Amino acid sequence: MSVSMYQASISVFVRGLDNLAAILRKAAAHAHAKDIMPAFFLNAQLAPDMFALVRQVQIVSDTAKGCAARLAGVEVPSFADTESSFPELQARIARTITFLQSITAQQLDGSEARPITLKVHDKEIHFTGQDYLLGFAIPNFYFHLTTAYGILRHNGVDIGKADYLGSL
C-alpha cells in the first residue's frame, strides 16, 4: 500500500488543526467558567525560553500552510501574527484550513522529489519534498500542537488525550 503526498499532508494537517480548534474552544470556555482572563492562557509558556500559546498556534498554522504551498509550488499565504484572543486564533485556524482544502491532490502528488529550500535562523536547509514533509513539516507541526496542548493542560484546562487525538 502506498500513501500519496496529498494523503500524508492535507488530511493530517486539517485533522490536527480541527483538534487544536476544539482544544482552544475548551480553553476559552474554561477561562469563562472560572473567571480567568483569557490572556493568562494566551500568554502562558511551558518554560521561560519557549513561545507562549499564541505563538505556538501561529506556528502550527504557518507550518501547515507553508508545507502545503511549498509542495504544491504555490505562494505561501502570509498571515499577520497579530492574534491576541481565542476568537482571533480560531479565525486563523479556519483560514489555514480553508487554504489547505484549496490544494488538490494533483498539485501535491508527485512532489516527493521537488526541491524545497527553507531559511531557518539565517541558514538555508535543502530537502526533497518527501524529506521536507516527513522529516521537518510534520514533526514541527506536531511539536507546536503538542506544546499548545501542554500549555493548556498544565494550566488546568480539562483536556485529555481524547481531545488531542480528536474523533477516531
31-50 residue pLDDT tens: 999 999 999 999 999 999 99
pTM of the full structure: 0.96
Q: What does the block give as the cell for 160?
A: 485529555
36-87 pLDDT, tens digit each? 999 999 999 999 999 999 999 999 999 999 999 999 999 999 999 999 999 9
Phi, psi of 115 (to 5 degrees): -70, 130
Q: What is the number of domains present in the chain?
A: 1
Structural domain range at position 53: 5-165
Q: Looking at residue 127, which CATH number applies to its domain?
A: 1.20.120.450
Check residue 106 and report its DSSP letter: H
